[in-house]
Amino acid sequence: MTDIETLQQAVPRLLQWFRQNKRDLPWRHNRTFYTALVAELMLQQTRVEAVKEKYVAFLEKFPTERELALASEDEVMKAWEGLGYYTRARNLKRAAETLFREGTPQTWVGVNALAGVGNYTAGALSSIALGLKEPAVDGNVLRILTRFFADDSVIDDAAKRKFTEVLRAVYPDETADFCEGLMELGAIVCVPNGAPLCEQCPWNTLCRAHLEGREEDFPVRAEKRPRRVEYLNVYVLKCGGKYAIRKREEGLLKGLWEFPNEVSPPPYPPPQGGGMTEPSQGGGMSGDAQGGGMTEPPQGGGMTEPSQGGGMRGATQGGGMRGDAQVVGERASPGRAHPERSEGSHKTDGGLSIQGDPSHALGMTQKGTLLAQKNATHVFTHVEWRMTGYLIETETPDPAFLWATAEEIRQNFAIPSAFKAFRVWLK
């Protein structure tokens, strides 16, 4: 029996299994091309559980492509807050503008031309929302098929193209159920972490890896490059019940609101204890997502607008505080931890001492009082941020930043989850 013939036998089993076992997910109800688009872009690089409530709330605010197309970018970013990979939100708005202006595309090529839609997402939308026999091959599907065929091909673009054509040869008329069935099988049975639940799999009498007892040998992955580590100092500046925020000008999360921060030298020796880890959003359905973006700030709301120029250098500029910090006594190095407290250093709640005076960070001209400090880590796909955060009370608001109350920030500004560990200081 050829590979294609074996997979043809597997198709009806998957369809029956999916109809009996599919999860009750909000995007599987009252589906339109637009709602499927919202779901697929949200699910890129993001767990299903993290998306469910956000999906419902997003559609309550933007029920059709018209509302999303006409919304401000700030409104869209705020509704997206917490999902991460913010370029997806900008792309979704651009795609909605295209749908509103030109209508729903009717071919894979037309779907693939929408902003933020790569090959996988184009296949998923074509199959699920348009009834087209267009495979959607991502990491879940590659894992299933390499196990099904006991195929030791390295997972790369060539393998993706090969399995796309294999699926195309057996695609049934029930395109939506078949596409979602593969997604479901990879999510709850042929799982990526730990042993697959083969006893629950509709393909367990056909799967070669299972029959050979080699399920966990597949897929074969190329060696990953190590994730780059960056060290940041993050400053939560407080003055008169308001907090300083600014828009990130470059790099990851470009255009989003953030607490003032800057790159610092790696700590030496490395900090021990007192840390907090904030994991990235992971485990999504596609690799089409990119990082960050938002532009114009909301108007009004009683917030002090920043002046043009001056203030802090971009967070992607190297050298930490060297050359920028104005300190009393010793030069500041807030990213460096010291095992012993010395003159001019600050003892933190985590037991670390910070040399110098971090209240004079980023070229600030007025002295401040260091109230608290903590360490946090946020992991992106290819970069890991190791951050030291400082809560600092200042005497006057620096005009280089926008100042807003904690409630105004919660209501009007999308602060990325990378800074979640420091948002707890906003009272």
Q: What is the DSSP string of 114-165?
A: STT--HHHHHHHHHHHH--------HHHHHHHHHHTT---EESHHHHHHHHH
Domain 228-423 in CATH 3.90.79.10: yes
Predicted local distance difference test score (pLDDT) of residue 351: 31
Other residues' Cβ atoms within 10 Å of the Cβ of residue 206 = 17
Q: The whole model's pTM is what?
A: 0.69
Tell me how far apart the alpha carbons of residues 11 and 34 are, in angstroms, rounded to a whole number: 28
Say which of 40, 134, 215, 230 is annotated catalytic: 40
Instruction: Name the nearest CA neighbour of 58 among 27, 87, 28, 85.
Output: 27
Tokens of 236: 């939560």
Q: Given this model, what pLDDT does residue 357 score?
A: 53
Q: In this structure, what DSSP letter does residue 337 have?
A: E
CA distance 323 to 265: 13
- Supply φ then ψ for residue 12, to 5 degrees: -65, -30
Q: Is 40 designated active site?
A: yes
Q: Where are the domains of the chain?
A: 3-221, 228-423
Instruction: Specify the pLDDT at position 102.
Output: 98
Query: What pLDDT score does 331 carry?
Result: 27
Which architecture does CATH list for 3-221? Answer: Orthogonal Bundle (1.10)
CA dihedral 183, 185, 188, 192 (to 10 degrees): -80
Mean pLDDT by 10 residues, the chain (427 residues): 94 98 97 98 94 97 98 93 91 98 98 97 98 97 97 93 97 98 97 93 97 95 88 95 92 88 76 41 35 33 38 33 26 30 32 42 65 94 94 92 95 92 95
pLDDT for residue 84: 87
